Amino acid sequence: MASSEYLIDLDFSISYGPLDDRLNSLYVPALSRSVRYDRTTGFFSPAALAIAARGVDALIRNRGHMRLLVGAGLEDGDAGDVGKMQELQRTLCDKFLSLLDVTDPWMSQRLEVLGWMAAEKTIEIRIALPLKDGKYPGRAAALAQDLPRLGIVTDAEGNQVGFYGTISESSGAGDQNYEHLMVYKSWEPGGLYLQAIRQHFERLWEGKEPGWRSLTLPGAVIDRLIEFCPRKAPVRGRRDAASAGKSELSLDIKKSIIFHFLQDTPYFPMNDTGLSHDRSRREAKELLQGVTALENPESCRLPLMRLEAGSPELLVVYYHLQADQARLLGSVAELEEVFQDSIRGDAPPAAAEIKAIEHFHALLKACEDSRVKNRQAARQQERLAFAQAAQRLLVKAALCDIAKSRHATLFDEDLITAGFDGATILRQRKKGLPFSELISWIHPDEFPVPTLDDPFWMEVESKSQKQIQGIEKAIKEEGSELIGKWTELSGKNAVETFIPAIALRRYFTRGQKEKPRLTLVIAPARKERFTRYLPFYSMESAFDKFVQGKDAAEEGWMECGTGKKLNKSMFVIRIEGQAMEPLISDGQFAVFDSDIRGSLDGAVLFVYGKNIYDPNRSSHLTVRRLKTISSKKTGEYQEIILEPLNPDYQLFHLKNLDKGVFKIIARFLCGV
Going along the chain from its start, the domains and CATH numbers come out as 3-243 (3.30.870), 251-365 (no CATH), 375-492 (no CATH), 526-671 (2.10.109.10)
- Go through 126-147 and write b for each residue having 16 or more CB atoms within 10 A of its CB, e for each that does not: bbbbbbeeeebbbbeebbeebb
Residue 50 · residue 111 · CB < 8 Å: yes
Backbone angles phi, psi at 154, to 5 degrees: -130, 130
pLDDT in the model for residue 135: 72
* Size of the chain in residues: 672
Residue 178 · residue 168 · CB < 8 Å: yes
Measured torsion, CA atoms of residues 218, 223, 229, 234, in degrees rounded to the nearest 10? 30
**Bridge partner residues of 626 (DSSP):** 642
pLDDT in the model for residue 167: 54
- Residue partners of 637: CB distance under 8 A and separation at least 6: 628, 629, 630, 631, 657, 662
Q: Is the pLDDT of residue 317 over 90?
A: yes
Q: Which of 451-465, 507-521, 606-620 has the lowest mean pLDDT?
A: 507-521
Measured torsion, CA atoms of residues 133, 138, 139, 142, in degrees rounded to the nearest 10? 0
The pLDDT of 332-343, averaged and rounded, is 78
Q: Band the pLDDT of 179: cuts 50, 70, 90.
A: low
Specify the DSSP class assigned to residue 510.
-
pLDDT in the model for residue 579: 85
Per 3-state DSSP, the chain is made up of helix, strand and coil in percentages (nearest 5) of 40, 20, 40
Q: Is the pLDDT of residue 541 over 70?
A: yes
Q: Half-sphere exposure (CA, 13 Å, Cβ side) for 533? A: 19
State the burial class of residue 282 (Cβ atoms within 10 Å of its Cβ: 0-12, 13-18, 19+): exposed
pLDDT: is 524 or 406 the higher one?
Answer: 524
pLDDT in the model for residue 412: 59
> What is the chain's mean pLDDT, rounded?
79
pLDDT in the model for residue 85: 64
- Go through 325-358 and write b for each residue having 16 or more CB atoms within 10 A of its CB, e for each that does not: bbbbbbbbbbbbbbbebebeeebbbebbbbbbbe
pLDDT in the model for residue 547: 83
pLDDT in the model for residue 318: 94
Sheet architecture: strand order including 212-216: 15-16, 175-185, 160-170, 149-154, 36-43, 65-71, 123-130, 212-216
The bridge status of strand 621-630 relative to strand 604-609 is antiparallel
Q: Is the pLDDT of residue 386 over 50?
A: yes
Instruction: Give which of 46, 37, 24 is closest to 175, Cα–Cα.
Output: 46
Q: Band the pLDDT of 171: cuts 50, 70, 90.
A: very low
pLDDT, tens only, 227-238 = 888 888 877 654
The pLDDT of 610-631, averaged and rounded, is 76
What pTM, to 2 d.p., does this model score? 0.51
pLDDT in the model for residue 491: 62
Percent of the chain with pLDDT over 90: 10
Q: Band the pLDDT of 423: cuts 50, 70, 90.
A: confident
The pLDDT of 589-614, averaged and rounded, is 86
